[in-house]
């Protein structure tokens, strides 16, 4: 996947642009942008959009002096900000200000690009990502399929495990437990 195109798509999402606008600016159809996102991150446009925008909302709330300032920065009213944070983040802006983890040095787009550009068998450490575990957890809650791999060469990556590997693993476990017949598909 072309990193430049992916970067432009993520920046468009960060700027609050809709799918049609992002597609037009990158000379792709909406269907093509949706396929790029689905193939790269394993989620649809709306899920990725909310994951990115939720982190922007959290960061804006935490870096603003007051909730009114945060709402103005996001072109919302304070009431709309409260409603959005309850519906999509699951908590009030006051609790976000005190307790919800946020990015350290990198934007969410940078973190997603790092994960997207890793080869399938390579993992990325939290130090390389520049975030803490709570940030990874909030991305997972938002629907981004990030998996952790324990061990010496462990780390994080986007879940791009081919279905055949999963089926093979499940069938090996089933055989070891004496369960037959083996699965042919996961779904």
Token pair for 59 = 């960061």
Helix 3-14 to helix 108-116 angle (10° resolution) is: 150
Q: What is the pTM assigned to this prediction?
A: 0.66
* Residue 170 near residue 177, CB atoms below 8 Å: no
If you average pLDDT over each of 68-77, 92-101, 113-122, 150-159, which comes out highest? 68-77
Count of residues in the chain: 187
Which residue shows structure tokens 């590997």? 165
User: Nearest 5 degrees, angle CA 14-CA 17-CA 18?
Assistant: 125
pLDDT over threshold 60, residue 165: no
Q: In the structure encoding, which two tokens stand for residue 24, read together?
A: 């037009």
List the single range of 52-61, 84-93, 102-111, 123-132 with lowest mean pLDDT: 102-111
Q: Which domains does the chain have, with CATH numbers?
A: 3-99 (1.10.10.60)
pLDDT digits (tens, 9 = 90+) for 117-146: 887 778 888 888 888 787 788 788 778 888
């Amino acid at each position: 996947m072309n990193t430049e195109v992916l970067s432009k798509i993520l920046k468009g999402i960060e700027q609050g642009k809709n799918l049609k606008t992002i597609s037009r600016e990158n000379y792709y159809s909406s269907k093509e942008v949706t396929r790029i996102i689905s193939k790269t991150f394993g989620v649809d446009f709306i899920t990725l959009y909310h994951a990115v925008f939720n982190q922007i909302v959290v960061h804006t709330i935490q870096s603003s002096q007051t909730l009114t300032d945060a709402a103005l920065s996001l072109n919302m009213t304070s009431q709309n900000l409260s409603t959005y944070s309850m519906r999509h983040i699951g908590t009030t802006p006051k609790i976000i200000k005190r307790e919800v983890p946020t990015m350290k040095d990198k934007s969410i787009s940078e973190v997603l690009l790092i994960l997207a550009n890793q080869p399938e068998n390579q993992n990325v450490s939290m130090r390389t990502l520049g975030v803490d575990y709570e940030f990874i957890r909030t991305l997972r809650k938002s629907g981004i399929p990030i998996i952790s791999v324990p061990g010496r060469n462990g780390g994080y990556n986007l879940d791009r495990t081919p279905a055949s590997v999963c089926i093979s693993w499940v069938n090996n476990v089933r055989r070891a437990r004496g369960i037959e017949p083996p699965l042919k598909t996961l779904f």
